[in-house]
Structure 1
Amino acid sequence: MTPQPTRHRRPGKAQLFLMRKSALSVWAQLAIRLMILMAMFLFIVAVHWVERDSLKDSHDGSVSFTDVLYFTMISVTTTGYGDIVPISDRARMFDAFIVTPIRIIFLLLLAGTAYTFAIKRTWNRWIMQLIQNNLSDHIVVAGYGASNVKAVKELLARGTDPRRLVVIDCDDAAIADAKDCGVTVLLADATRNETLAAARIEQASALIVAAGRDDSNILVVLTARKMAPALKISVTIRDDDNEDIAKQAGADTVINPVSFSGLLMASSLEGPHRAEYLADLATTSGQVMLRERVVEAHEVGMTLAQICTGVAVRLIRGEEAHGPATIEKVELGDRILEIIDSKT
């Protein structure tokens, strides 16, 4: 295999967290935390005010509303000057079993370091478990370089639910970009078994591989094929010599972007609109689109010319592709490649 440079690093197991973009902005999340803190504070103030006869003020002997606010604030912040104290058993039990847990929550929410290291990891694991429980028939995207960025955007344009896409990459910036699209992301090395297991590769419907290097791509294919024998795998290979190796590794479709771009460039010399039309076929944003579908039951026995759902350009029977003129009648299990109007 031809060695190629890579910008990726290999994160450790501790970074295996499936994530999605939060529906709330940073300011909205901050506002929610502040509202939680305020609600807990007001709750304590209300209880202390109702039970103010259970409090003793050593300064003037009476407990006003200002005293209640003051006592609540120094209680939740663990300051405690001792000038106002609970004197009844009920007030002391409230402070012990209600105020003290709330005091702890106050400290955890307000202390950023405590939040990051004490809560965030557990929270991420819980979110990851929720996401994994709902992952089924999804599409795993290994690598988020130029090729897969375009692939993800095209899938989303075709109506694919963002929650069905799981993007794996080792680069923080790439993962951040993918997360902004609303898809599930995983900051990890896709060549590792534990990474693909975290992405529930066994339950996926397809895998798209473009990790930046041919050797990495082939290793991802090998790993995925071993874990999911029935998985549909498409891989990008840049060196012609590696195409057969990728197929032997288990790839169903091998795409060489260098060769394909060369074909488009050569084709464009024979007419300025040929390359444009071929690109139009591949995307939903154009006027026409190339669609592959299975022959339906009511179409069995018909000729391709009689099928009016689109312009048939190829029929796949088993593992062989046939031109429209070579097939007399379609059979059950055949697949049709046809050009259709993308606006219909």
Structure 2
Amino acid sequence: MIHFPAQRRGPLSALSLRLAAALGLVLLTVAVVYLDRSGYRDVDENGLTLLDCFYYAVVTLSTTGYGDITPFAQSARLVNVLFITPARVIFLIILVGTTLEVLTEQYRTGRRLGRWRRTVKDHVIICGYGTKGRSAVSALLENGLDKSRIVVVERNGTALRQATSAGLVAIEGSATRSSVLEEAHVRNAKAVIIATDSDDASVLVALTTRQLTAGQVRIIAAVREAENAPLLRQSGAHHVIVSSATAGRLLGLSTSAPPLIDVVEDLLTPGQGMALAMRSAERHEVGKSPRELESLVIALVRRGKVVTLADRAGAVIETGDMLVHVRDDRPTANTTAS
């Protein structure tokens, strides 16, 4: 099941609101008729009980009108003209409006789903919307990726609601199932980020993705234990990030070299000061040394491989190189630059 970002109140909420309005209108009509019950009579010329008032209100507002209870007093007839008749019209509008609301919402959702299926391409699939998945989405958005090009695959209901509330398209189901990944149009995807809560699930997702895409889609996965990283690479993952080992290294740095951990946190935290970024080399930069540029370049990406500045190949920028650099990510700097 595909869940789209909520743009308006859902059909169930609208139905509940209209049902409450209709019930309130019925109760108000009962109260008005009951207060003026002496002006009404039934076929037996008896007065109205409270149950008779409920019966008259429901029959009248629903336009059934059996005629067994009629207003004979001038005040009762005036109430029917000024209140009962407008209430009947409002009641019908509520009923018809509810039906139209539900049908329109279903039609709108169907059109939205069809349009999404036709246009989704070069998107990024996030398998798992836990802490790692949400952080991955934040990083993608910070680097300029539009929300419409991010698809979340998650089976947890709470995480699904969080994803749609964040403006993302979410697909309900397990990413280990090929049918779910097919629903996410994995063959047209640019990349698949595996951020599940277990290493065995990550391996199954990687295997399923590789089988469906024949290795044409980049797979990035996170694992808890370093011993599972080779297995994930064999399963088709192009990049594997070991969360436990990375956390351990940061803990070690915080003990042996405390300032380094502050630098790493600064680089990984958006809007704090420094941030890692990558851009294409411009024409006037080709042939120059990366160290001569105004921005702080720390590495080159050439034909898909990372070239460090310490390598001889990294001494000169070539056509087609991607520059990995450190940018100023402070909000004040960004505001000034804009």
Q: TM-score higher than 0.5 here? A: yes
More displaced 10-residue stretch of structure 1: 190-199 or 318-327: 318-327
Show the counterpart of 1:339: 326
Of all paired residues, the percent bearing the same amino acid is 27
Deviation at 1:316, TM superposition (A): 2.8
Q: Output aligned runs, 1:236-315, within 5 Å.
A: 236-308=222-294, 310-315=295-300
Q: Is the 8 A contact 1:17 1:125 kept in 2?
A: no
SS of the aligned residue for 1:325 comes to coil
Q: Is the 8 A contact 1:18 1:128 kept in 2?
A: no
Q: Is the 8 A contact 1:158 1:284 kept in 2?
A: no
Does 2:91 match 1:106? no
Q: Residue deviations 1:111-163, cap 9 Å, x none? A: x9xx6xx9987775554323323322222110111111222233334443322
Show the counterpart of 2:164: 179
Does 2:317 match 1:330? yes
C-alpha separation between the residues in 2 aligned to 1:163 and 1:29? 26
C-alpha separation between the residues in 1 aligned to 2:140 and 2:269? 10
Show the counterpart of 1:129: 114
Q: Residue deviations 1:83-104, cap 9 Å, x none? A: 8xxxxxxxxxxxxxxxxxx989
C-alpha separation between the residues in 1 aligned to 2:61 and 2:221? 57
Give the AA of the match of 1:338: H
Show the counterpart of 1:220: 205
Does 2:6 match 1:17? no
Show the counterpart of 2:74: none
Could you say what the CA RMSD is over the residues aligned between the two structures, in angstroms?
3.9
- How many residue pairs get matched? 275
TM-score calculated relative to the size of structure 2? 0.68
More displaced 10-residue stretch of structure 1: 328-337 or 258-267: 328-337
C-alpha separation between the residues in 2 aligned to 1:25 and 1:125? 14
SS of the aligned residue for 1:230 comes to coil
C-alpha separation between the residues in 1 aligned to 2:305 and 2:192? 23
Q: Runs of 5+ in structure 1 lacking a partner?
A: 1-15, 38-58, 60-72, 84-101
Deviation at 1:263, TM superposition (A): 0.7
C-alpha separation between the residues in 2 aligned to 1:319 and 1:27? 50
Give the AA of the match of 1:109: T
Does 2:196 match 1:211? yes
Q: Is the 8 A contact 1:138 1:165 kept in 2?
A: yes
Give the AA of the match of 2:246: F
TM-score calculated relative to the size of structure 1? 0.67
Q: Is the 8 A contact 1:148 1:210 kept in 2?
A: yes
Deviation at 1:255, TM superposition (A): 0.7
Q: Is the 8 A contact 1:304 1:312 kept in 2?
A: yes
Change (3 A) 1:146 1:126: same
Change (3 A) 1:321 1:154: closer
Which contiguous aligned blocks of 4+ residues in structure 1 show a shift greater than 6 angstroms? Answer: 25-28, 31-34, 102-105, 118-123
Q: Residue deviations 1:179-220, cap 9 Å, x none? A: 211111111111111111111222222221111111211211
Deviation at 1:259, TM superposition (A): 0.5
Higher-helix-fraction structure:
2
Q: Is the 8 A contact 2:127 2:154 kept in 1?
A: yes
Give the AA of the match of 2:195: A
Deviation at 1:28, TM superposition (A): 8.5
SS of the aligned residue for 2:266 comes to helix
C-alpha separation between the residues in 2 aligned to 1:290 and 1:340? 6
Q: Residue deviations 1:60-110, cap 9 Å, x none? A: xxxxxxxxxxxxx96983735278xxxxxxxxxxxxxxxxxx989937937
Q: Runs of 5+ in structure 2 lacking a partner?
A: 23-42, 44-57, 69-90
